[in-house]
A and B are shown apart, each in its own frame.
Chain A
Amino acid sequence: GQQLNQSPQSMFIQEGEDVSMNCTSSSIFNTWLWYKQDPGEGPVLLIALYKAGELTSNGRLTAQFGITRKDSFLNISASIPSDVGIYFCAGSSSNTGKLIFGQGTTLQVKP
C-alpha cells in the first residue's frame, strides 16, 4: 500500500532558527496537507496543497507540493517556543478522501 516517509523524526532547535521537514511517497498524490498536533489535542490543519509545484505560505510557515507529486516540504522560519509539537504530512490520491499520514516530526524549541 501507499506509504509516506517523513523526516526528520525529531528536531531540537534554538528559538529563532529556521526548520525544514519533508515527506516523500512511493506513489503520486493529488493533495498534500500539513498538520500540527499539540499534546492532548487533535491535529490542526496548517497548509493544504493541491497543485504540483505549488508554494503556499501561512505566516512563518511555507510548504511546497513537489513537481514529481511524490514529495512535499514544510519550512518554519524564525521558530518560537509555541511551535513545539508534532508535525504531520498527509497525502491523498483518491477521491474517497482517504489520507495517508507520515510518521510525524517532533519539534522542540529551546528558548
Chain B
Amino acid sequence: DTAVSQTPKYLVTQMGNDKSIKCEQNLGHDTMYWYKQDSKKFLKIMFSYNNKELIINETVPNRFSPKSPDKAHLNLHINSLELGDSAVYFCASSHRLAGDNEQFFGPGTRLTVL
C-alpha cells in the first residue's frame, strides 16, 4: 500500500552517463513534483506536473528532463551526468487542484556520480 514510490533507491554512475529515476503515486493525486536535496539537507523544487502538463520549471539545467506518461507517474531523466548532480532526489505528489497543497514525499533516490 505504498503511497509514493521511487526506483531505484540508490544509483551510482560515472560522469557523462545518462540515467533515469522513476516515480509512481497511488494516492489519486493530480500533481507530482521533483525535489533535490543537497549535502546540507536543503530541499529545493525542480519541477512539477499536473495531469501531464508542466506547471513549475525552476532554473534547472536542461540536462534534466521530466516526463509524465500519466498523472500517476513522473520520471526524471538526466543526461550527461556531472559530479554536482550527486544528491538525493525526492518525488512528491499532492491534490493541488482541490486546493490542497499537502505534498507527500517518496523515499528518495540517492544519486552518486563518480
A-side residues, CB < 8 A to B, are 31, 33, 35, 37, 40-45, 48, 86, 88, 90, 92, 95-99, 101, 103-104
Contact = CB atoms under 8 A, between A and B. Distances in A.
Interface string B93-114: 0101000011111111000000
A90 B106 CA distance: 17
Contacts of A41: 107-108
A40 B48 CA distance: 23
B33 interface: yes
Interface stretch (B12-20, B37-45, B65-73): B37-45
A109 B107 CA distance: 24
Interface residues of B, number: 24
Nearest to B40: A103
Nearest to B94: A97
A14 to B, nearest CB: 24
Contacts of B42: 101, 103-104
Contacts of B103: 33, 45, 97, 99
Given A42-B90, A42-B105, A45-B103, A97 B41 contact: no
A69 B5 CA distance: 33
The 4 closest A-B pairs by CB, nearest first: A42-B105, A101-B43, A97-B96, A43-B105
B101 A99 contact: yes
